Amino acid sequence: MYDKKVIIPGIVIFLWLFLLPFWYNMGKATPPPEPKTDTPVIKQLTEKKCIEDTLFMKTSHMQLLNDWRDSVVRERNRVHTASNGKQYEMSLQKECMNCHSNKSEFCDKCHDYVAVKPYCWDCHLEPKEKK
């Protein structure tokens, strides 16, 4: 092989750089977040259930919120009828955050873990949390 002196150290350095993050983070797995739902409003609920079941909310809350915002702004709809027939106001600030008044413990925990930065809070006001 020509240029053995350059290629082999080059491969070694490349592998070292490439594997560095994996090696650095080995055994340091961050525990999965557990969003807290122990707000005063939720504690008073007899049936502790969001507008749909937990699995749907976990996987599809972003689509739901996206549908809500288009429907509210463009189609003038304000009332969401859930699959169990209950009605909810289609509003992040007025409905969602009314129960989930702990944004830092509820929203941020997972969003930070999966490194997504939703821009909801650039405009929408988050509930004031007591520290």
Partner 1 sequence: MENSRRKFLKIAGISVLGLGVKPVVDVVASEEPQKYAPNAEALRGKRWAMVVDTRKCKNDCTDCITACHTIHNVPDIKNPKHEVKWIWAEKYGHVFPGQEHEYLDHSVENRPFMVLCNHCDDPACVRVCPTKATFKREDGIVLMDMHRCIGCRFCMAACPFGARSFNWMDPRPFVKDENAKFPTRMKGVVEKCNFCAERLAEGLMPACVEACKDKALIFGDLEDPSSEVRKILSSNYTIRRKPELGTNPMVYYIV
Chain contacts with partner 1 (rule: CB under 8 A) = 67-69, 71, 73-81, 90, 93-94, 119, 122-125, 127
Cα dihedral sign, 18-23-24-29: positive
Nearer Cβ to partner 1 (48/124): 124
Q: How far is the CB of 6 from partner 1 (least distance, A)?
A: 49
Q: How far is the CB of 55 from partner 1 (least distance, A)?
A: 18
Question: Taking a C-beta distance cutoff of 8 angstroms, is the pair 42, 105 a contact?
Answer: no
From its phi and psi, is residue 80 left (phi > 0), alpha (psi between -120 and 50) or beta? Answer: beta
Q: How far is the CB of 36 from partner 1 (least distance, A)?
A: 21
